[in-house]
Amino acid sequence: MTTATPQPGQLIVITGPSGVGKGTLLRQLRQRHPELALSVSATTRPPRPTEIEGIDYYFVSVEDFQAMIAAGKLLEWAEFAGHYYGTPRDPLLQLIAQGKTVILEIELQGARQVRQSYPQARHIFILPPSLAELEHRLRNRGQDSEEAIARRLAQAETEIAAAPEFDVQIVNDDLEKSLIALETAIFSPVP
């Protein structure tokens, strides 16, 4: 008996400033569509109290991260707010080969690398209603030190200026409306 090789799955890149609501949107999206795969990144950032190894991130040392870069194990990587973040290449390519739609939640420099190395990916940018609301969400989340919040806000304006590079832009004001916009962006047919 032969098994047909599945059609390759789609790669979806989701980017937006820290605190805009990417994690919140993706958690709800996955509840509605458990068949979607979320890539788990490696990072040198220390875990937050609620985060779980292997689910939220693979938490690694700087030495281990540099070894992953040297061994070509990362599809893309970047430094953000004083820490390294990167996407493990092999698990991602395996999921795509199995026909899964895979979502990468990554920052701008990484999204640009994926555009170069994997041009078929669909790129979505999540915008805040305003910078003041972004700051409010970061503070309200209560997960980061003042220094970490300041670094994230400093990065936000550069990232927002790059939103037009993306295929789709969604303003995360009303969460339910943003979720519907995200579903439309992910599930609409490839042009």
Ligand X SMILES: Nc1nc2c(ncn2[C@@H]2O[C@H](COP(=O)(O)OP(=O)(O)O)[C@@H](O)[C@H]2O)c(=O)[nH]1
Q: Is 86 in the site for ligand ADP (CB under 6 A)?
A: no
Cα(133)–Cα(94) distance, integer angstroms:
38
Pattern of binders to ligand ADP over 143-182, x per CB under 6 A?
-----------------------------x--x--x----
Q: Is 140 in the site for ligand ADP (CB under 6 A)?
A: yes
CB 53 within 8 A of CB 59: yes
Report residue 185: phi and psi, to 5°. Answer: -65, -35
Report the greatest alpha carbon distance in the chain: 60
Q: Is 24 in the site for ligand ADP (CB under 6 A)?
A: yes
Find which of ligand ADP, ligand X, none residue 10 binds, CB within 5 to 8 Å per kind: none
**Which one, 84 or 96, has the nearer CB to ligand ADP?**
84
Query: Which range of residues in 71-79, 87-95, 113-121, 134-142 is near ligand ADP by CB under 6 A?
Result: 134-142
Residue nearest to ligand ADP (CB): 21
| Distance (Å) of CA 88 to CA 40, 113, 172 | 8, 14, 28
Angle at 23 between CA 20 and CA 27, to 5 degrees: 135
CB 114 within 8 A of CB 75: yes
Q: How many CB atoms lie within 10 A of CB 23?
A: 13
Instruction: For residue 179, give the 3-state DSSP assignment.
Output: helix
Q: Is 28 in the site for ligand ADP (CB under 6 A)?
A: no
**Which one, 19 or 86, has the nearer CB to ligand ADP?**
19
Find which of ligand ADP, ligand X, none residue 122 binds, CB within 5 to 8 Å per kind: none
Minimum CB–partner distance for residue 177 and ligand ADP (Å) = 9
**Which one, 5 or 50, has the nearer CB to ligand ADP?**
50
Q: How many CB atoms lie within 10 A of CB 184?
A: 11
Q: Is 22 in the site for ligand ADP (CB under 6 A)?
A: yes
Pattern of binders to ligand X over 12-51, x per CB under 6 A?
------xx---x-----------------x---x------
Report residue 154: phi and psi, to 5°. Answer: -60, -35
